[in-house]
């Protein structure tokens, strides 16, 4: 058998272009489905972007891929760099997954109040996990991450709460996907905010196509900071971390819809039992806010919201172990 000592000639005669190899799992991120949900007896319809179909199970896979790809392409993320972030869970899981696929070490700072399933998923992907005591919401963890990054140049801090690439990703991808899937017919977009990236970025894309699109911010009734309330404890993980994120500053929000934690969990359970959609509390909260919004609009108005993540990372929380009164009550729309 002859062994070739040089590559075969290009039979097409075209110049070969060297492209970075993209791990197969990362090709699964984005291009998520948009489903139409008909609710009875309310006789209401909304559209929901199914973000839990991303490979790690949440919308944050988009952010992780966009931030790390940009950092690698611009020489900000070196082979020996350690990716660092403060996260309530989903961004940490996504960074751990994308970091593993790209061959980077990852360290995640997380509140000790986060669900145990989120902790296990982060370490399952090989990332280091540091738990901190929450004294001032996620401001505590953000400040700790900044100190660690300043003390050790090996750390690459993604700064999800203030990084404009967060909103840019949703403007370039999530928002444009929604426009394509609705043929540009969106009346109102409803979403909660953690970093503010989804709400900001999607609103940019939608308003670029139609300046009259309405933007509704869902927030926990127990911590309705956009409405001027003081932050307080709630159980809608990943939403309203104790401060209004910088990415929301200057964003035109037309309305705010507060949702109680109990109603968010009740709706998440309803989505599983009536629609077969296994989602977390923030998705339930988004749907409650979207239905209330749809009830005030004409029948033909398209209301779009986000199903952020899967329910399997909340097995130890009140979503699966609710108080009896909460379990037996219907969602208050």
Of 241, 215, 223, residue with least CA distance to 293: 215
pLDDT-derived band at 16, boundaries 50, 70, 90? very low
pLDDT-derived band at 231, boundaries 50, 70, 90? low
Question: Number of C-alpha atoms within 13 angstroms, CB side, residue 298?
Answer: 4
pLDDT-derived band at 15, boundaries 50, 70, 90? very low
Per-residue pLDDT, 230 = 65
Are the C-beta atoms of residues 197 and 66 closer than 8 Å to each other?
no
Q: Model's pTM, two decimal places? A: 0.90
One fold for 28-55+171-326 and 60-157: yes
Angle CA(180)–CA(183)–CA(186) in degrees, nearest 5? 100
Q: Residues 165-181: what's their mean pLDDT?
A: 99
Per-residue pLDDT, 150 = 98
pLDDT at 137 over 60: yes
Cis peptide before 41 (omega within 30 of 0): yes
Which residues are catalytic, by number?
Answer: 60, 282
CATH code linked to domain 28-55+171-326: 3.40.50.1100
Per-residue pLDDT, 19 = 46
Per-residue pLDDT, 182 = 99
Question: Bridge partners of 203?
Answer: none
Widest distance between CA atoms in the chain: 77
pLDDT at 295 over 90: yes
Return the higher-pLDDT residue of 54 and 7: 54
Quote the CA–CA distance of 224 and 214 in Å, as a whole number. Answer: 19
pLDDT digits (tens, 9 = 90+) for 244-280: 899 999 999 999 999 999 999 999 999 999 999 999 9
pLDDT at 60 over 60: yes
Which listed CATH number (3.40.50.1100, 3.40.50.2300, 3.40.190.10, 3.40.50.1820) goes with 60-157? Answer: 3.40.50.1100
Mean pLDDT of the chain: 90
User: Residue ranges per domain, the chain?
Assistant: 28-55+171-326, 60-157
Per-residue pLDDT, 257 = 97
Quote the CA–CA distance of 123 and 243 in Å, as a whole number. Answer: 27
């Amino acid at each position: 058998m002859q062994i070739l000592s040089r590559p075969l000639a290009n039979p097409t005669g075209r110049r070969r272009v060297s492209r970075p190899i993209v791990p197969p799992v990362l090709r699964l991120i984005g291009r998520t489905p948009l489903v139409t949900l008909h609710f009875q007896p309310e006789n209401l319809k909304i559209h929901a972007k199914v973000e839990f179909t991303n490979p790690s199970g949440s919308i944050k896979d988009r952010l992780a891929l966009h931030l790390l790809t940009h950092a690698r392409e611009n020489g900000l993320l070196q082979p020996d760099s350690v990716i660092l972030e403060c996260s309530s869970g989903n961004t940490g899981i996504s960074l751990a997954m994308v970091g593993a696929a790209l061959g980077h070490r990852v360290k995640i700072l997380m509140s000790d109040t986060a669900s145990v399933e989120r902790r296990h998923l982060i370490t399952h992907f090989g990332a280091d996990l540091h738990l901190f005591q929450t004294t001032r919401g996620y401001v505590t963890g953000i400040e700790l991450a900044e100190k660690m990054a300043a003390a050790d140049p090996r750390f690459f801090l993604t700064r999800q709460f203030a990084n404009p690439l967060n909103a840019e990703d949703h403007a370039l991808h999530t928002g444009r996907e929604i426009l394509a899937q609705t043929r540009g017919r969106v009346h109102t977009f409803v979403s909660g905010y953690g970093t503010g990236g989804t709400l900001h970025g999607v609103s940019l894309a939608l308003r670029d196509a139609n300046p009259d699109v309405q933007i509704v911010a869902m927030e926990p009734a127990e911590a309705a900071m956009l409405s001027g309330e003081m932050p307080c404890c709630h159980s809608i993980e990943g939403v309203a971390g104790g401060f209004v994120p910088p990415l929301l500053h200057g964003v035109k929000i037309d309305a705010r819809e507060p949702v109680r934690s109990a109603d968010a969990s009740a709706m998440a359970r309803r989505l599983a039992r009536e629609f077969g959609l296994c989602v977390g509390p923030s998705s339930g909260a988004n749907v409650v806010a979207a239905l209330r919004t749809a009830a005030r609009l004409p029948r033909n108005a398209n209301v779009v919201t986000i199903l952020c993540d899967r329910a399997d990372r909340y097995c130890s929380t009140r979503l699966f172990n609710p108080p009896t009164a909460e379990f037996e009550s219907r969602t208050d729309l």
